[in-house]
Amino acid sequence: MIVELNQCIYEMNGKQFIELVKAAKKTFDCYAIVSVEKDGLATMTKDAYENLDSLKEAIKEYKSNGFKVYYTVPKRGKREKS
């Protein structure tokens, strides 16, 4: 597959791409789209959103155009036992 990252083009297999997506997700602690993929072409993005509803709307829009969407949501803090 072909992947665009920071205006550079890379060729990698699917497993490498998934590892790249996992690494990218670790850099976000917000509602964000990390990557979109269609027909063997993927673009790494930095699209952050204010809330879950706006993220869902963006995902819906991409999916309606045939894209597979990789996204992340903020991690919730661990609960302390009382």
Q: Is the pLDDT at 78 greater than 60, yes or no?
A: no
Per-domain boundaries in the chain: 2-72
Q: Whole-prediction pTM value?
A: 0.85
Cα dihedral value 15, 20, 23, 24, nearest 10: -140
Q: Is the pLDDT at 72 greater than 90, yes or no?
A: yes
**Residue 68, pLDDT score:** 97
Q: Is the pLDDT at 8 greater than 90, yes or no?
A: yes
Report CA Rg, the chain: 14
pLDDT digits (tens, 9 = 90+) for 33-67: 999 999 999 999 989 999 999 999 999 999 999 99
